[in-house]
Amino acid sequence: MTGSDKLPLVVLISGSGSNLQALIDACQAGTLPAEIRLVISNKASAYGLVRARDAGIPTQVVAHTDYASRDDYDTALAQVIDQSGARLVVLAGFMRILTDGFVRRYLGRMLNIHPSLLPKYRGLDTHARAIAAGDKEHGCTVHFVTPELDAGPIVLQARVPIEPGDTPESLATRVLAQEHRIYPQAVAWFAEGRLALGDNGVAQLDGLPIQP
Ligand code: GRF
């Protein structure tokens, strides 16, 4: 596949960037026909920026602390994204609540990964909440982003068992390994033109509704 056949995308991060690394690795391995045009972080200290630079990918810090309001920040962010020429926005541990206007601008072309089996455990501390609830299993979800937090149409999920004695950290490690497997897979579907958000608000793979 030549460079021009590859889907241009941006990845937005705030921290470690292990999901970003999984995407970089899949691009390099040829299993993900995409070109990461730019990695954007709202934090200059995010380790994912180092991962991007090591892979020769351009980076940009758009610090939320530089903007007076959420609207101003999201406007600046959208400008940077659009200048990159990206056709898909991949949220990978981007720890920001996005404005409705921003989400609508990228509706159907913005994905997120969340560390729970949505619709269970939207928001933070998902691993601790699953353990505290006595759940037998936990997991992760790739979904299209819609204005309601962590409530967008589901694309792909992976399940892991919760073992006796699991801590939020041990469980997070088990879930993260699955995140690194399913996120590149879902992004590859999009890049191959197989994945779309239907007009009815349901995610579709090869034209068929995805039923998680
Ligand atoms: C992951 O658990 C992801 O599901 C959540 O934030 C975390 C990001 O981890 N949205 P990393 O920065 O990709 O290592």
Ordered by start, the domain boundaries in the chain are 3-113+143-151+180-195
Residues recognised as catalytic: 114
Per-residue model confidence (pLDDT) at position 3 = 56
* CA 205 to ligand 1 center in whole angstroms: 24
Atom of ligand 1 nearest to the CA of 140: 4
Ligand 1 probe mutation, 176, 178, 183, most atoms within 8 A of CB: 176
Q: How far apart are CA 150 and CA 97, in angstroms?
A: 10
Dihedral (C-alpha) 158, 172, 19, 26: value to the nearest 10 degrees? -50
Name residues contacting ligand 1 (CB within 6 A): 13, 15-19, 48, 92-93, 113-115, 140, 176, 179
Among the CATH numbers 3.40.50.2300, 2.60.40.10, 3.40.50.170, 3.30.70.20, which is that of 3-113+143-151+180-195? 3.40.50.170
Can you give the pTM of this predicted structure? Answer: 0.97
Detail the DSSP E strand segments found in the chain.
7-13, 34-41, 59-61, 88-91, 110-114, 137-144, 154-161, 195-197, 203-205, 208-209
Angle, in degrees to the nearest 10, between helices 18-29 and 168-191: 40
Per-residue model confidence (pLDDT) at position 193 = 98
Per-residue model confidence (pLDDT) at position 2 = 54
Atom of ligand 1 nearest to the CA of 22: 13
Per-residue model confidence (pLDDT) at position 1 = 53
Q: How far apart are CA 7 and CA 34, in angstroms?
A: 4
Identify the residue whose C-alpha is closest to ligand 1 atom 12. Answer: 17
Cα separation values, 33 from 126, 130, 145, 181, 205, Å: 31, 35, 22, 16, 17
Per-residue model confidence (pLDDT) at position 176 = 98
Identify the residue whose C-alpha is closest to ligand 1 atom 10. Answer: 93
Cα separation values, 56 from 24, 51, 53, 99, Å: 10, 9, 5, 31
pLDDT of the chain, 212 residues: tens digit per residue: 555 689 999 999 999 999 999 999 999 999 999 999 999 999 999 999 999 999 999 999 999 999 999 999 999 999 999 999 999 999 999 999 999 999 999 999 999 999 999 999 999 999 999 999 999 999 999 999 999 999 999 999 999 999 999 999 999 999 999 999 999 999 999 999 999 999 999 999 999 999 87
Q: Give Cα 179 distance to the centre of its chain.
A: 10
Identify the residue whose C-alpha is closest to ligand 1 atom 8. Answer: 93
* CA 150 to ligand 1 center in whole angstroms: 13
